[in-house]
Amino acid sequence: MKITQKVKKILDNYESDNPGTKANLTRILMHGRLGGSGRLVILPVDQGFEHGPVRSFAPNPPAYDPHYHFQLAIDAGLSAYAAPLGMIEAGADSFAGAIPTILKVNSANSLARNKDQAVHGSVKDALRLGCAAIGFTIYPGSDEQFGMMEEIRALGEEAKACGLAIVIWSYPRGGDLTKEGETAMDVCAYAAHMAALLGAHVIKVKLPTPHLYQDAAKKVYEKEKIDISTLSARVAHVVQSCFNGRRVVVFSGGEAKDDEGIFTEVRAIRDGGGTGSIIGRNTFQRPRDKALALLDKIIEIYQGKA
């Protein structure tokens, strides 16, 4: 496998990482139809933990089967597949080496009252299963946020020592944050920056709205005339907040929406300099043929063909 100049340039931004971690980042960046382009599309299937099986899989019953998701990601030519321990264990042998995997090592559930996540996977699990990276969620704004940050600090140290990459889902929620504040421009950029400061190689955030939540931040946005008028401009600002583009930033697909709504968002991510999409429910809740068609178009957009 010949590594492209675009991927080499991305790897150069990770100055402290050992060859093992860079090799695993390369596995993700060079895999699938977007391999070598500096763009990524990742399938995450952690929604069973977060929302329960019926809300996640009943709209497309074949998706109850973990093998379905491995095969969907492979057949669509995606960059990687991310899931919790049990999901990856259920297909680890059948699909060994077929696609880079990311072990999601913590999760919340819809039955809990507090905004926290339980750690249920380990670096040893990720190594045993041949994963390229571990994935971890933090909730900036939550009353539990500092404990979560300390957990990923410890796990991250172990993962990097073992040559694994780190993907951080940085989702503001909890505490005094309003629903509108969770996706506000200033809050999303802040959350993305925190993930970079915590040592993430790949940062996953939600797409920001033009709303400004923090009064002190709003004054700076207005004084400095920071352009957040379009979605692509807001994406560019999030990327800027991640060490001026020195970190890989992917954006969540979010709640179910129609095809054109997804394509509009993907074009904005592409035009704003985002690395790509990590899109779950909007694919696996559709029938397989429609999911493959959707992913095909998303990849074409990132290739500049649509």
Residue positions annotated with a catalytic role: 204
Q: What are the beta bridge partners of residue 184?
A: 209
Neighbours of 29 (CB within 10 A): 31
Encoding tokens for residue 25? Answer: 């980042």
Give the distance from CA 89 to its chain's centroid: 20
Q: Is the dihedral of CA 237, 180, 203, 80 positive or negative?
A: negative
**Residues contacting 110, CB < 8 A, separation 6+:** 50, 51, 52, 55
Other Cβ atoms closer than 10 A to 37: 20
Q: 103-137 burial, b if ≥16 CB within 10 A, otherwise e?
A: bbbbbbeeeeeebbbeeebbbebbeebebbbbbbb
> CA 36, CA 126: separation in Å to the nearest integer?
24
Interstrand relation of 106-107 and 118-119 (parallel, antiparallel or unpaired) = antiparallel
* CA distances to 107, 141, 185, 216 from 182, in Å: 18, 9, 9, 17
> Which residues make Cβ contacts (< 8 Å) with residue 149, sequence separation at least 6?
138, 194, 198
Contact in structure between 70 and 99 (CB atoms under 8 Å): yes
* Chain center to CA of 293: 21
